Structures are given as C-alpha cells and as structure tokens.
Amino acid sequence: MKPIQVGLLGIGTVGGGTFEVLKRNQEEIQRRAGRGIEVTMVADLDVARAKSIVGANVQVVDDARKVIANPDIDIVVELIGGYGIAKQLVLEAIEAGKHVVTANKALLAVHGTEIFAAAHKKGVMVAFEAAVAGGIPIIKALREGLTANRIQWLAGIINGTTNFILSEMRDKGLTFDDVLKQAQALGYAEADPTFDIEGVDAAHKVTLMSAIAFGVPVQFDKAYVEGITKLEAQDIKYAEQLGYRIKLLGISKRTPAGIELRVHPCLVPAKRLIANVEGAMNAVMVHADAVGTTLYYGKGAGSEPTASAVIADLVDITRLHTADPLNRVPHLAFQPDAMSSLPILPIAQVVTSYYLRLRVADQAGVLAKVTGILANADISIDAVLQREAGEGESHTDLIILTHDCVEAKMNQAIAEMQQLSTVLAPITRIRKEELN
Ligand code: HSE
C-alpha cells in the first residue's frame, strides 16, 4: 500500500523532530501502522531553512494553503501555534477533508468545541496528544486506557518552565525573579514567558484533560488561573519545614456540584512521588474508581519528545482513517451526544485546604485572635508554625495549615484577619492538596 502522505504546517523545533524521528524509525513505525508514513510537503515562511531540514525530496512552500489544497495530502500537521492563522488553517484543512494533528493546546482549549464539531461533521479526526505534557501519552491514557473508569480527579505538573523555576528556587534559595532571569539566559524560558509563569499554558492543558476525563466541553474561559510570579522563597522554605513542596498544579476534580478546573501554586506532601518531579519534567496523577491512582511522568516539551506524541497520532490516524467515523475513539473520549452539562465551579466554590502566612506583631493574644476568626468560620486548623522572632524584632511569621474548607469561607476569614491591627502585612495564602 502506498505510504500515507503528511503535510507539515511549520517546521520549527517540533516539526524538525517529527521529520527526523519518522525518518529514523520508519521501518519500526511502518511495522506498527501497517503502511508507511511520509512527510511529502512542508509549509514554512523560511523556505531555505525548511529545505535544509527536509532535503530535496520533500516539496517546500511558503503558503500553508497549498498544503491544504494538495489532494495527495492525507494528514495536515499544524505546528504554527496560537489562535490566529492556526485556527483558520485547521478549519480549512478539516473542510478540505484532511485529518489534522496538532500540538496547539491554546487553540483547542479556547476553540476546541468549534473545531471538534467541524471535524465530526466532516468525518475527520483531530488528534492532539502533543498538546498536553509533550511526550507523555496522557491523552491516550485518559481517553482509552482508563475508559472503564469513573475518573474522580487529576492533578499535573504540566508546565516545565515553571517547574524548573520552582525547583531552582527550592534548591538554591533564590527569588523568582533571579531564577527567571537565569532560565531565560540559558534558553529554558521563552523571551516572553507570560503564558508559562502566569499559569495560562498549564490552564490550556488541564482544560483539555478535564474535558476528556469528565466528558464536558472544553471551557478554558471558566478555568481559575494563578501563576507563580508572586511566590516567595520564604514560603517554599516554610512549606518544606512542614513536610511539603510547592508545585504549580493543574487540577480538575469531579464534585456533586460541578467540575473544579484550576491552576495555581499548591503545597503537596513531600512524600508524594509527584512532589519529587524536578526541573523541566512533567507528571500527571489520575485518580479513578477502578484503577485507583496512576501516575504518568516524562518530558513535557522538546523536539523529539513532542515528535513522539505527534507521530503516535499519525499512526493512530493511519490505522483508523478507513474505519467508520462512528467507530473511532471520540475526540473528547465521550460520544458527542453524551457530553455532560455539569458546570465548571467558580473558585469561590472550590473545596481545598490552605497554607497561610501572617506577618504579625509578636505580642500576647495575637494567635488567639487569629485562630478565633478561623474557628468562627468553622475552619479547622491542621498545623501551626511560628518563626522565633529575631533579636530585637517585634514581629514574627505565623504559618497555619488548615483542613479542607470552601474557598468563599477562607476569603471571608482572611479579610477579617487582615483587619486586625496586629496583622502587619498582606496575608499570603497558598492552596494545599494532599493528593491521597
Ligand atoms: N512552554 C511549555 C513548558 C512547553 O514550559 O512546559 C510547551 O507546552
């Protein structure tokens, strides 16, 4: 059978890796897919650079629409990124009857509903393993491997840049700003790292995982997103003294009232495997009723790890493209007419536990007043740590860990504590998850 023909839109880091791995492992991949998979056309604005990567046997153009218009191309791989032209091209490729593979988490988290509906109507596949956690096959695991289960929650370190920064802050006691500058100098962080450090990239990814885990539409606009820019080195140190590490987690949970969908820094018990995921590595924990807790770990970015995910999708499409569309795995794991309308909960309705740090006057009765406010709000305390005041200091830090409570109650309690004349600075609040 003649090889299936692939057109790449963009041949940067991931496109180059995809081309290289397909070439290097072509025999192994063909034995799995049942036929060859060949990149026969590439669109890139830098034609000369693209030609230097793919050689003379691959047609290189500077106009992506020429790839989409080529009747010989079976699968279009979108590696442009962003919501702009990429959205247009993906929709045009679907309309042209092409299957699409994309690593574009932003596009699918924001416009997934429209894109999956268009693909469903046209009977083509849109595959996106590379969009979440790079080389970790988490989409495959959630959508197929765990299909017997009622999934209860998932939590992941799904942004390597921020995990690298947090690891360095903990290891070396450095500030966020210092580590970010170093990471940029070393090329680990983007020149404009906003999407990473503000939690937006992680929120795109957890939005996709949540949709597949619970069978709800992709709803990035309802996700709660908080990054790591305000984290202070002292909180990482205090957390450690209490047996916790701070990680930026993407969390989604099913509750009777709705779905929690949130990204924020989070205390995690140091003894959990996920708390020990360091540097730019990614990991996702999934808790489901039949299997219990599973953990997926690996490289969340980079040329060949991401290419590994792109090619897995190419193989899936190669095997399934002749199948009746109704018998394929649905885009979001659940049949489109069986999606749940469970709402995404606002952050005020989320239930979690908390780490609080209060800068307080070191005088009698302060602790009683603070704990009194928590008791009145029916918030139970799990642990308290007080820094010994330094020589000549008239203030100290009070660290409180609480048990679970609804966020709205905690907001109220923090507002009341902040009014106390003995609370000398804005209160730091970091959410905590036991993940057990
Ligand atoms: N910028 C992402 C990260 C990789 O730092 O993990 C691509 O999603």
Q: 325-373 pLDDT, tens per residue? A: 989 999 999 999 999 999 999 999 999 999 999 999 999 999 999 999 9
Q: Are 53 and 16 in contact (CB under 8 A)?
A: yes
Rounded distance between C-alpha atoms, residue 50 and residue 58, angstroms: 10
Confidence at residue 1, expressed as pLDDT on a 0 to 100 scale: 86
Confidence at residue 392, expressed as pLDDT on a 0 to 100 scale: 86
Does residue 307 sit within a domain? yes
Q: Are residues 82 and 32 in the same domain?
A: yes
Residue 191 vs residue 139, higher pLDDT: 139
3-state DSSP assignment of residue 426: coil
Confidence at residue 49, expressed as pLDDT on a 0 to 100 scale: 97
Does residue 241 sit within a domain? yes
Select from 71, 126, 74 the least CA-distant residue to 98. 74
Q: Are residues 182 and 258 in the same domain?
A: yes
Residue 392 vs residue 349, higher pLDDT: 349
Domain of 98: which CATH number? 3.40.50.720
Q: What pTM did the predictor assign?
A: 0.97
Report residue 390's pLDDT band, with 50, 70 and 90 as the boundaries: confident
Q: Are residues 274 and 142 in the same domain?
A: yes
Q: Are residues 181 and 284 in the same domain?
A: yes
Q: Are residues 367 and 320 in the same domain?
A: no
Q: Are residues 245 and 376 in the same domain?
A: no
Q: Are residues 154 and 269 in the same domain?
A: yes
Report residue 389's pLDDT band, with 50, 70 and 90 as the boundaries: confident
What does the DSSP 8-state code read for residue 436? Answer: -
Report the atom number in ligand 1 closest to the C-alpha of 162.
5
Confidence at residue 81, expressed as pLDDT on a 0 to 100 scale: 92
Confidence at residue 76, expressed as pLDDT on a 0 to 100 scale: 98
* Structural domain count, the chain: 3
Rounded distance between C-alpha atoms, residue 431 and residue 356, angstroms: 9
Does residue 93 sit within a domain? yes
Domain of 239: which CATH number? 3.30.360.10
The rounded Å distance from CA 203 to ligand 1 centre is 11
Element (H, E) at 152: strand 151-157
Q: Are residues 34 and 168 in the same domain?
A: no
Q: Are residues 152 and 292 in the same domain?
A: yes
**What percent of the chain shows pLDDT beyond 70?**
100
- Ligand 1 test: best mutation among 105, 192, 201, most atoms within 8 Å of CB? 201
**Strand bridging mode 75-78 / 405-406:** unpaired
Q: Are residues 292 and 361 in the same domain?
A: no
Domain that holds residue 239: 138-299
The answer, yes or no, to whether residue 151 has pLDDT greater than 90, is yes
Residue type, 407: E
Report residue 169's pLDDT band, with 50, 70 and 90 as the boundaries: very high
* Marked catalytic residue, from 205, 247, 253, 432: 205
Dihedral sign from CA coordinates of 260, 261, 264, 268: positive
Residue minimizing CA distance to atom 7 of ligand 1? 301
Q: Are residues 101 and 164 in the same domain?
A: no
Q: Examine the fold and report which residue of 285, 318, 338 is the final residue of a domain before the chain moves on.
A: 338
Q: What is the CB < 6 Å shell around ligand 1?
A: 159-161, 196, 201, 300-301
Does residue 343 sit within a domain? no
Q: Are residues 172 and 101 in the same domain?
A: no
The answer, yes or no, to whether residue 211 has pLDDT greater than 80, is yes
Average pLDDT, the chain: 96
Q: Are 172 and 347 in contact (CB under 8 A)?
A: no
Q: What is the mean pLDDT of residues 139-162?
A: 98
